[in-house]
Amino acid sequence: MENTIYDKVKQIVELVTRVKITVNNRKREVIDARMIYAKILRERGASLSSIGMTINKDHTTIIHYIRTMDDLLVTDREVLRKYIKSKELLLLDEQELNLLDENDTLSELSRLKETVDVLEKKNTLLQDENERLNRDMERFRGILKVIEEATPIGQEKIVERKIKKMLDE
C-alpha cells in the first residue's frame, strides 16, 4: 500500500475530527481519531505494523484500537458520525475533482457540504425514529416473548386469529 493513502486518510480524519492524530497525548478525542484512522486503513488492507508505524504505535495497540472501534461504532453516535464522514470523504473521486478548475472545485465542495448537512440531518431524524420505535417495541417485548414461547411452529396463523378475535371483543 502506498504512502499516499496513509497521508490521505490521516488528512481526512484530522479534518473531520479536528485533532492531530500524531500528537503525543491520551485525550479521548485524539484516541478516537487514531482509532478511526486505524480502522479505515485496516479495512483497506493495510497491515497492523504499517498502520502503527505511521502513528508511532505498536501493532498490538492497533489491534486494540480496531476492536474498541467495533464496540464504539455500536454505542457512540458521535464516533460513528466521524467514522462515516471520514470514509465518505475518502471515497470522493479525486480524479474528478482534479479535473475541475478552482471555481468549479469550490462550488462542488459547497454543494457536497450542503449534501452532507442534509444527509446528517436525515440521519439524525432516522436515528430518533429508530429510538422511538425501539421504545415502543420495549412495551411489547414481554407479550411477544410469551406468544413466541407458547406458539408451536406452524401454528402462527391460528394464534394470530385468536389474538385478533380476543382484541376485537
Domain count, the chain: 1
pLDDT score of 44: 87
Measured between alpha carbons, how far is 12 from 17 in angstroms, rounded to an integer? 8
For residue 139, is it within any domain?
no
For residue 71, is it within any domain?
yes
pLDDT score of 29: 95
Please compute the mean of the pLDDT values over residues 86-105 and round it to a whole number. 65
- Asked if pLDDT for residue 7 goes beyond 60, the answer is yes
30-53: per-residue pLDDT in tens? 999 999 999 999 988 899 999 999
Write the CATH number for 32: 1.10.1750.10
Domain range enclosing 12: 3-91
pLDDT score of 93: 46
DSSP 169: -
- Asked if pLDDT for residue 56 goes beyond 90, the answer is yes
For residue 162, is it within any domain?
no
Question: Whole-structure pTM over 0.85, yes or no?
Answer: no
For residue 52, is it within any domain?
yes
Virtual torsion, Cα 122, 128, 129, 132, nearest 10 deg: 180
101-132: per-residue pLDDT in tens? 566 667 777 778 778 878 888 888 899 899 98
In the block, which residue shows the cell 470522493? 92
- Mean confidence (pLDDT) of the chain: 86
For residue 36, is it within any domain?
yes
Percent of the chain predicted with pLDDT > 90 = 46
For residue 97, is it within any domain?
no
For residue 146, is it within any domain?
no
For residue 53, is it within any domain?
yes
Sign of dihedral through CA atoms 113, 92, 95, 52? positive
What single-letter amino acid sits at 13?
V
Q: Which three cell numbers stand for residue 31?
A: 484516541
Q: Which three cell numbers stand for residue 23?
A: 500528537
